[in-house]
Chain A
Amino acid sequence: MTRDEIDQIIQEVFSDLFDLPPNSITSQTSPDTLLEWDSLAHVQLVASFEEKIGVTISAENQVEMLNVELIGDILHDLKSQNT
């Protein structure tokens, strides 16, 4: 899975979970800029990425997912380790 494909999935998940138009988040979108990104939403984000990308995200990684760019980095790393 390429970084672009992963970024596309991230866009789709944010769009589903937060009711946003497609491709409306940026690499710097974070809980500080997106009000609805609370702890419950974070759990839903993690679950969605695990389901769609086929990785297991550790507790430590979950805590590091502080913005969209970091999410992309972590998911990309996990997926490359996987394959």
Chain B
Amino acid sequence: MNWRDELRNCCAGNDLAGAQKAAAALLENEPGTAATVFAARQTARLTEQLQMPEHRVAILSSFTADLLEPAFAVSEFLAGRRLAFQSISYGQWYAALAEEGPLDEFRPDATILLLHLEDVVPLLAHRHLSAGAELAGESDRLINALGDALGKFRERTATPIFLSTFIAAARGIERHFDRRTQPSRQGAIDSLNARIGELAAGNPGVYVFDYAGCVTDAGRRQWFDPVKAHHVGMAVAAPMLPRLAHELSEALKALREPRRKLVAVDLDNTLWQGIVGEDGPEGIAVGGDYPGNAFSDFQAFLANLRASGVALAVVSKNNLADAEEAFKHHSAMPLAWQDFTAHRVNWSDKSSNLRDIAAALSLGTDSFVFVDDNPLECDLVRNSLPEVTVVHLDGAPSLFVEKVLSAGGLYAVALTEEDRVRVDSYAADMARTELADSTTPEEFFASLDLTLTVRPPRDGEIERIVQLFAKTNQFNLTTKRYDAAAIEKLRADPAVRMLIARLRDRYGDYGLIGVAVTVERDALTREIDSLIFSCRALGRRAEEALLGEVEKDTRADGVRRIIGRYLPTKKNTQVADFYPAQGYLVSQCGGEGVFEKYLDNEPPLPAYGNITILRGTDSP
């Protein structure tokens, strides 16, 4: 197959999926600069023809990143996006962040700062032993400049920005004594990277691109071409640019797209080698020598994935007793039976089992990853549930981790408290579901002992609020996507009131699950700018209680009229009638989807019988 012709034809025929396939195949068969530039040009024509929305990314680098553009455009194209690229090079990164200028004109959706040690802390990079007292000051100045530039950038824009970690310096004369000597070069770089991390953690919307890790994976000697670096200022060797581009696209994807929520795994030849139903629990291999060690490493990866907020489920064709016996017999393996939020060990088809788990956990199957060594099972799931990410584990078990990670959708750029406790909360959800099935809805709600906290947000909650705005699609009346800086602006605006809702019940804490933003329109009118509620906490009438609290506050201010707006999207049709159901009337002059309620005429919504509402600003 001539993939160049194929790509050209697909692009000419406006065939996006075909072009993605052809571009990937071309670059797999013929990786290199020429084919990358060719693919970038062809696909740029296609994305323009299809009028795909631009994903605007600015790279601020201490070197020139112009050469990165074709590879980056291709990696974004393969991820389904059309790149608009701006490269701000050499010493201009500080001015671009600190002062209004080209970056503001470009209006980036995301900005990535890539700094090389040699450019920004040259003493540390080149002559740390002979630099004397100036050495420590150099690193301090850089971190201060970064903090200062970020602060000024944030005053002008809310867009997310990635800082990056510093790559270890080229090893010089110090290599055999560096770590036992002061000043230690690599020690100073470790410390710089730790401070980069602190800067990001302390600033909403600031993330860290692990550039150092990316280069470590590829190898430092591959990454740099010292001759071309000196001669033409090519800071990254051309063959490494697609790799850098791919990692940048993965980070941007983690920033933009909802993360997968559950990984469903098979058991035999997936979590261990062998078939427990035939070989018996002592006949399967996990831990110990190869191949058992590869399988236990894969399990350890899954255990860590779970701790980062992705639930695990077992979906296996086996006898339940055999499966349980395998976990009992190998009690030292990284995963225990109870680490799985759901177990579907039976002989039914796997897609039904996946649907069943989705229903039990109130999750969409589009948030599922399915992992199996059997190609037939993989195909069956692909066919009946195309929205599920399917990972076929063939080949060496030592490569399973990489296979699952590269399937996509599991990375995250920030880990919130909610993420860390999420998987445990699923177990509580299951207990609730069981209870709900066995009683009437009224009895069920009454027995939950719901407590809803409604109050203004605290500083530590902004990251979670940003997450809710980014990811809530169903119960989201206006689907505005505020990022961290926009949230800060709203909080500072005296005409705006923001309330968060936290919910808990006898089974556990749902965390921060709702946000309401209202804006003063005039002395007698407030409008609900945003009303969002996590789907995990829906169906308990707590969302109605949140609206009731919003109305109470509004009325207490002497405001007569409250306006609610429904802006339809593909995913929020379930709230099309939310306002009418809460006693709102179609607005006389507001147009379609605008509702209003006169708070004089009607009492605010009643308290919801079984929900205890806490309103103190110090409420948990």
Contacts and interface: CB of A to CB of B under 8 A. Distances in A.
**Interface band, chain A:** 10 to 19
B66 A47 contact: no
Most buried by B among A46, A47, A58: A47
Interface in A4-31: 12-13, 16-17, 19
Interface string A41-83: 0111011101110000011001000000000000000000000
Contact of B33 (A12, A19, A39, A48): A48
Given A40-B66, A44-B67, A44-B238, A17 B34 contact: yes
Most buried by A among B34, B41, B234, B238: B34
A39 B232 CA distance: 9
A13 B36 CA distance: 11
Interface string B25-41: 00000011111011001
B227 interface: yes
B528 to A, nearest CB: 51
A43 B67 contact: yes
Interface of B: 31-35, 37-38, 41, 66-67, 227-228, 230-232, 234, 238-239
Nearest to B231: A59
Interface of A: 12-13, 16-17, 19, 39-40, 42-44, 46-48, 50-52, 58-59, 62
15 contacts: A16-B34, A16-B35, A17-B37, A17-B38, A43-B228, A43-B234, A46-B228, A47-B238, A48-B34, A51-B32, A51-B33, A51-B34, A51-B239, A58-B227, A59-B231
Contacts of A44: 33-34, 37, 67, 238
Contacts of B37: 16-17, 44
Contacts of A48: 32-34
A39 B228 CA distance: 13
* Interface SS of A by simple majority: helix
B230 to A, nearest CB: 8
B86 to A, nearest CB: 15
Contacts of B234: 43
A17 B38 CA distance: 6
B34 A43 contact: no
A64 to B, nearest CB: 13
A46 B34 CA distance: 10
Nearest to A44: B33
B238 to A, nearest CB: 4
Given A16-B35, A19-B41, A43 B232 contact: yes
B38 A16 contact: yes
Given A59-B231, A62-B231, A52 B34 contact: yes
A52 B231 contact: no
Given A16-B38, A19-B41, A40-B66, A47 B227 contact: no
Nearest to A39: B232
A47 B242 CA distance: 13
Contacts of B38: 16-17, 19
Contacts of B35: 16
Contact of A51 (B228, B231, B238): B238
Contacts of B228: 43, 46, 59
A47 B66 CA distance: 14
Contacts of B66: 40
Nearest to B239: A51
Nearest to A13: B34
Given A39-B232, A43-B67, A52 B227 contact: no
Complex A-B, nearest 3 residue pairs according to Cβ-Cβ distance, in ascending order? A47-B238, A16-B34, A16-B38
Contacts of B41: 19
Given A16-B38, A51-B239, A58-B227, 10 more contacts: A12-B34, A13-B34, A42-B232, A44-B33, A47-B239, A48-B32, A50-B238, A52-B32, A59-B227, A59-B231
A43 B70 CA distance: 13
Nearest to A42: B232
A69 to B, nearest CB: 20
A57 to B, nearest CB: 9
